[in-house]
Amino acid sequence: MKTRYLTKHRYTRAEFDWLACDSNGRIGYFTSAGAGPVPDIALTDGFLVGVFEYVTARPEGWNAVAVGEHSYNTDDFLAVARRGLCGFNWDFDRKAYTLVARPGEVVCGDGEIDRAVLASAQKVVIPTDFRQALILRVAGAD
């Protein structure tokens, strides 16, 4: 079943965090900034709730690198990257998710990350490589 990305949902105008895997199984962390498209599956019961808190409760183990210049505080994205995930934020001007911070090596697969995080991320697959994607436009946004 193809993932649909919704801009109108119960969290519209509120920050909503979600996870996804890239084509290689690497995990990315996404924040909607209150307006970015969110995968329909992320809005269903059973998808990981409290993504940021859950991810940042994991131990740090990666070097984090900020990507680009941003007018907002990037500390949360660096915190996620220190746990092995690429951090993407919705960019209103570009109408796309942009990479804010990344680890030296992106977490991939079982054994490297908690099963609940991995299970949620695997529900959404974005056909790209998070290590190289600076701007992500999701297909099928309403």
Domain spans, the chain: 5-136
Tens digits of residue pLDDT in 10-23: 666 667 888 999 99
pLDDT band for 78, please (50, 70, 90 cuts).
very high
Give the predicted TM-score (pTM) of the model: 0.85
Q: Give the pLDDT confidence score for residue 26 in this predicted structure.
A: 86
Residue with tokens 């993504």: 51
pLDDT band for 142, please (50, 70, 90 cuts).
very low
Enter the tokens of residue 119. Answer: 């299970």
Q: Give the pLDDT confidence score for residue 111 in this predicted structure.
A: 59
Enter the tokens of residue 113. Answer: 């990350």
Task: Give the C-alpha separation, 139 to 129, whole Å.
Answer: 15
User: CA dihedral defined by 48, 122, 29, 27, rounded to 10 degrees?
Assistant: 140
Direct distance between the N- and C-terminal alpha carbons of the chain, in angstroms, rounded to an integer: 17
User: What percent of the residues of the chain are helix, what percent strand, and what percent coil, each to the nearest 5?
Assistant: 15, 25, 55
Question: What phi, psi does 88 have (nearest 5°)?
Answer: -115, 140
Q: Give the pLDDT confidence score for residue 115 in this predicted structure.
A: 74
More confident: 115 or 88: 88
More confident: 33 or 129: 129
Tens digits of residue pLDDT in 95-134: 899 999 999 876 665 556 667 777 778 888 899 998 888 9
Closest CA to 27 of 141, 109, 96, 98: 109
